[in-house]
Amino acid sequence: MTTTTETTRSAVHRAILPIPITTARALIIIGGALTAASAFLSWTWTSAFPGDLTVDGYPGGLQWLTFAAGVLTAVFGLAGHGIRGLRRLNPAGSSSAELLLAVGGLAVTWFTLGAISVELGGLVNLTVGGWIAGIAALVPVAGALGLPIEGEPGSATSRGSALWRHIKNHPSIKPTRPLPAYAEILIIAAVLAVGLGLFTYGIDTGYGELFVGFLITVVFGAWALYSAGLTDQLSAITARHRSVTAIGAFAAAAAFPFTQSSDQYTSIGVNVLIFATVALGLNIVVGLAGLLDLGYVAFLGVGAYTAALVSGAATSSLHIVFPWWAAALTGAVASMVFGLLIGAPTLRLRGDYLAIVTLGFGEIFRIAVSNFDGVTGPNVTGGPNGIPNIPDISVFGIDLGKSHSLGGFTLGRFSNYFLLMLLFTAIVVLVFTRASDSRIGRAWIAIREDETAALAMGINGFRFKLLAFALGAGLAGLAGMVQAHMAFSVVPDPYQFAGSVPPNSAFLLAAVVLGGMGTVSGPLVGAALLYLIPAKLQFLNDYQLLAFGVALILLMRFRPEGLIASRRRQLEFHEAEQPILQTTEEAGLTKAKA
C-alpha cells in the first residue's frame, strides 16, 4: 500500500514538473536571489500602506521578510547543490526544506501584495516592482517542486549511501566531522541571539500586517529547519551542554529590556513571563503527574489576592505591610495550602471526574472573591472592585515603579518587573527540573502512564498526586504576587476558566499541550505564543479567536506532541510509524545478505 502510494505520487510529481534536478536547483538558487532582490524595489505608489513600500533601493516593513525568505531559500539551494561548507545546513538531505522556504517566501510576498490591494483599494496600487516580486517568488517554488520526493530514485535520502561511497572514494571530499565543544557553545550562543532577535522583532511589530507576515515567515522557516534535521542536531548539542544552554537562555531573556527604548512593549514581555511561569507550574500537575486541572488559574488568583492583602494597599482589610520577599512567600504558601485543601478530598478521583471538580473549584474561587465585599459576605477582597492601589515593590531600597539608568540604558517600570519576574521564572525552572529528575518525578511519570501499575509497584499514588497539586499551586502563587503589584490592582474577572484575555485556565492548559507536556522549554514557548499572538491580532476584532482556533487545530493536527516534545511523547504519537521503519531496515539487511 505504501509503495503504491509513493509510486503514484512520484509519477504525478514528474508529470507536473518534468525538469532535471540540476535545473531545479538552479531555479531555487536564482529564484531565491531574485526574491530577495525584489525587496529593494518599490511595491506601491503611496506611503499610506504601513511600512512605506514606495522606496527603491532599500526594503521597508514587510519587504524585509521577503528579503529574509529569499536569502534563506538561495542558501539552502546552495547547500542542496553540495557547496562546501553549507552541507551542514541540511544534514537530512531533505528537499522539503527548500520547498518550505520557497513557499514561505511566496506566502509572505503575496500576502503583502494582497494586503496592499485590499487596504488601498485594488491592484492598481501595485507598482512594477510589486508585480516583479510576485513573479520572482514563484520561481523557487517551481524549482523546489521539480526536486524528487524523499524516498524516490534520485532523491537526497535515496542517494545517501551512494554519496557516502563517493566521499570515501574521493579523499578531496570529506564528510562533516563532529564539532569541538567550543564550536558547539558558540552555536548555542548564536541560536539564543537569533531567538532574542526574533522575539524582539515580533513583539516590536507596530501593525497587524507586519506581525502576520512575521508569523508566516517564522512558521515556514521553523518547519524547514525541522525538515532539514537542524532542530534534532541542535537538541543533541543543547543536551550535551545543558548548563551553558540554561545560563545563556536566561542571559538572553535578561537582555530583552535593554533592547527596548520604552516600556510600550516591555509590558507584553512581563505578562508573557507571568503566563509562561504559571504554565510551567501547571506542567507539573498535567505534564508530569497526568492530572487534568481545569481550575489552575485560581491558584494564581490566591497568590495575587494574598500578596495584595499583605503589601500595604490602602483598601486592604488586613492593614499590614510585608517586605516584597515575605509577600511572595506568603502568596506561595497560601496557594499551596489551598492546593492541599482542594486536593485532599478530590485527588482520589481520576480522569474526567477530577477535571470537573477542579473546574468547579475555579468557579467557586471567582464567585467567592466577588461576594467578599462587605455586603453579601465579609469585607475581605473588595468584591467586584477588587483591591486597587497596590504599591510598587521596593527591592533593597530600589523602587521598581520608577525608571532607573544602568550602563547607559534606561529601565522603566515594566522593565524592572520583567527582571524580577525573570528571577521567579528561574526559580520555577530550577524546581521543575530538580523535581522531574528526582525519585518524586519518576513516581509522577509512573502515575501518569498507568496509575494502577504504579500502585502495584508500591507507589503511594494519593500522596504523590497531592504533592504535585500543592507544588504546582505554590509556583502559581509566586507569579500572582508579581502580577498584583505590576497591575496595581486585583479583580476577580481574569481568574476564570475561559476568556478573551489570558491568563485563564483554558489558555494555560493550551500552552502546556501546545508547547509540549513534561518539558521545561515547551510550556514557556507555548505560553509566549498564546499570549503574544492574541495581543498582536487585535486588528482582527471579532475574528481574532476564530483565527487563533484554526491555528491551534492545524498545529495539533500536524504536531500533536507539541512544539518542543519529549522523546517519550514523540514515540507515543508516532508509534504507528515505527514498524514501517523497522520493516524497511529489515528489508535492507535481507537484501544485503542476499
Supply the angle between the helices 266-283 and 461-487 in degrees, to the nearest 10.
170
Architecture per CATH, domain 260-532, reads as: Orthogonal Bundle (1.10)
Report the alpha-carbon distance of residue 451 to residue 354 in Å, rounded: 14
The pLDDT value recorded for residue 189 is 92
Average pLDDT of span 292-307: 88
- pTM of the prediction? 0.80
Average pLDDT of span 80-105: 79
Contacts of 529 (CB under 8 A, 6+ apart): 511, 514, 515, 563
pLDDT of 113 > 90? The answer is yes
pLDDT of 42 > 60? The answer is yes
pLDDT tens across 325-355, in order?
Answer: 888 899 899 999 988 888 888 877 777 788 8
Average pLDDT of span 410-417: 85
Average pLDDT of span 231-243: 86
Average pLDDT of span 413-426: 89
pLDDT tens across 26-36, in order?
Answer: 899 999 999 99
Q: Where are the domains of the chain?
A: 11-238, 260-532
Q: Closest Cα to residue 332, out of 470, 507, 425?
A: 470
Report the alpha-carbon distance of residue 142 to residue 51 in Å, rounded: 29
Instruction: Tell me the backbone φ, ψ of residue 405, rounded to 5 degrees.
Output: -100, 135
The pLDDT value recorded for residue 17 is 54
SS3 call for 409: strand
pLDDT tens across 188-217, in order?
Answer: 999 999 999 998 988 888 888 898 899 999
Average pLDDT taken over every residue of the chain: 80
Average pLDDT of span 472-497: 86
Contact 531, 543 (CB under 8 A): no
Highest average pLDDT, of 9-23, 98-112, 340-354, 362-376, comes from: 98-112
Distance between first and last Cα of the chain: 24
Average pLDDT of span 475-499: 85
Contacts of 513 (CB under 8 A, 6+ apart): 286, 526, 556, 562
Q: In the chain, pLDDT over 90 holds for what percent of residues? A: 16
The pLDDT value recorded for residue 568 is 64
Higher confidence at residue 418 or residue 151?
A: 418
pLDDT tens across 148-192, in order?
Answer: 765 444 444 433 333 333 333 433 334 456 778 888 899 999 999
The cell for 390 is 497596590
Confidence of residue 544 (pLDDT cuts 50, 70, 90): low
Average pLDDT of span 303-309: 89
Contact 30, 81 (CB under 8 A): no
Single-letter residue type at 116: I
pLDDT of 44 > 60? The answer is yes
pLDDT of 264 > 70? The answer is yes
The pLDDT value recorded for residue 18 is 60
The pLDDT value recorded for residue 70 is 93
